[in-house]
Amino acid sequence: MSANAKEQILDFVRARYPQAEIDETQDIFALGFVNSLFAMELVMFIEKTFEVTIPNDELKIDNFRSAETMSELVDRLSPARV
């Protein structure tokens, strides 16, 4: 699940920023990609793709820094899939 989730998340980020070279551990905030519009799109993408609802207390910057941390978030929110 995690590897697949990471790839799907990376595909989403790369589709928005095709010129960027991003791997699963890179901090997308450090790359300067994230504004409130993209953050909203990320949340919508994760909720739709992985059929989860992200509660307010999980909406922390560290959960969205990289494809890896986002896939870990997905795993936490969908334990049955792990």
Partner 1 sequence: MTTQAEIAPGVLQVTDRKSARAFVDTHIVPYADAYDRQGRVPEELLERMTAAGLWAPFLPRDTGGGGMDLVTLGEVHEEVGRGCSSVRSLLTVHTMVSWAVQRWGSPAQREQWVPALGRGDVLAAFCLSEPGAGSDASGIASNVVEKNGGWVLNGVKKWITNGQRADLFLVFARTATSIGAFLVPRDTPGVEVTPIEDVLGTRASMIAEISFRDVALGPDALLGPSGFTAGMVLTGTLDLGRYSVATGSVGIIQAALEACAAYASRRTVGGSLLKDLPLIQAKLSDMVTDARAARLLVAEAGRLKDAGEASTIMATWVAKYFASTAAARHASEAVQIHGANGCGHDYPVARLYRDAKVMEIIEGSNEIQRITIAGQAEREII
Question: Which region among 1-9, 57-65, 70-78 touches partner 1 (by CB under 8 A)?
Answer: 57-65
Least Å distance between CB 82 and partner 1?
A: 22
Q: Does 39 bind partner 1 (CB under 8 A)?
A: yes
Query: Apex CA 32: angle with CA 41 and CA 65, to 5°?
Result: 60
74 interacts with partner 1 by CB under 8 A: no
* Contact in structure between 46 and 27 (CB atoms under 8 Å): no
- 15 alpha-carbon distance from chain centroid: 13
Per rule CB under 8 A, count of chain residues that contact partner 1? 25
59 is a site residue for partner 1 (CB under 8 A): yes
First to last CA, the chain: 6
